[in-house]
Structure 1
Amino acid sequence: MRLRLPAERPAEPPTGYKIGYPVLSQDGVRAGFTGVSLGGALPYGVVADASCLYGRRHRPPARLCDCGFHCVHDRAAAEAMLCTAEHRDAVLLEVTVLGAYIRFEHGFRYARQRVRTATVGPCGCGDRAVALADAGWGRPGRLALAAACGACLRGRRSVALAAFARLAGDGLRVAAAVPATGSASRPPGTGAAAAALPDEFGVPELVAEAALLQARLDWFQSQLARLGEGGGAPGSRG
Structure 2
Amino acid sequence: MRPRLPDERPTEPPTGYKIAHPVLDADGGCAGFLGVSLGAAAPYRVLDEARCVYGRRHRAPHRRCDCGFHCVHERRVAAGLLVQAEYRKAVLLEVSVLGSYIRFERGFRYERQRVRTATVGPCPCGATASVLADAGWGRDGRRVLEAACGGCAGGRRRWTLDTFARLAGDGLTVWAEPGTGPVGPAPDMPELVAEAALLQARLDWFQGQLSRLGRAMGGDGPHPRD
**TM-score with structure 1 setting the length:** 0.77
Which digits, 9 at most, give the CA deviation of each residue in 1:68-111, with x for residues without a partner? 00000000000000000000000000000000000000000000
Q: Which residue of 1 aligns with 2:209?
A: none
Kept in 2, the 8 Å contact 1:16–1:97? The answer is yes
Is 1:148 aligned to residue 143 of structure 2?
A: no
Q: Which residue of 2 aligns with 1:119?
A: 119
Shift of 1:134: 0.7
Partner SS state of residue 175, structure 1 = strand
Q: Which one is further off, 52-61 or 88-97? A: 52-61
Which digits, 9 at most, give the CA deviation of each residue in 1:142-196, with x for residues without a partner? 00000010111111011100000000000000010012x34xxx5x126xxx243
Q: Distance in 2 between matches of 1:23 and 1:60?
A: 23
Q: Which residue of 2 aligns with 1:165?
A: 165
Which digits, 9 at most, give the CA deviation of each residue in 1:12-45, with x for residues without a partner? 0000000000001100111000100121121100
Q: Which residue of 2 aligns with 1:71?
A: 71
Q: Which residue of 2 aligns with 1:44?
A: 44
Matches within 5 A, 1:77-96: 77-96=77-96
Unmatched segments (≥5 aa) in structure 1: 198-238
Q: Which residue of 2 aligns with 1:196?
A: 188
Partner SS state of residue 40, structure 1 = helix
Kept in 2, the 8 Å contact 1:151–1:196? The answer is no
Question: Which protein is bigger by CA-based radius of gyration?
Answer: 2
Partner SS state of residue 57, structure 1 = coil
Shift of 1:2: 6.5
Partner SS state of residue 167, structure 1 = helix
**TM-score with structure 2 setting the length:** 0.81
RMSD in angstroms over aligned alpha carbons?
A: 1.4
Unmatched segments (≥5 aa) in structure 2: 190-226
Is 1:4 aligned to residue 4 of structure 2?
A: yes
Partner SS state of residue 155, structure 1 = coil
Is 1:61 aligned to residue 61 of structure 2?
A: yes
Q: Distance in 2 between matches of 1:112 and 1:140?
A: 21
Percent of aligned positions that are identical = 67
Shift of 1:3: 4.0
Q: Which residue of 2 aligns with 1:176?
A: 176
Kept in 2, the 8 Å contact 1:152–1:195? The answer is no
Q: Distance in 2 between matches of 1:29 and 1:82?
A: 28
Partner SS state of residue 76, structure 2 = helix
Alignment coverage as a number of residue pairs = 189
The amino acid of 2:119's aligned partner reads T
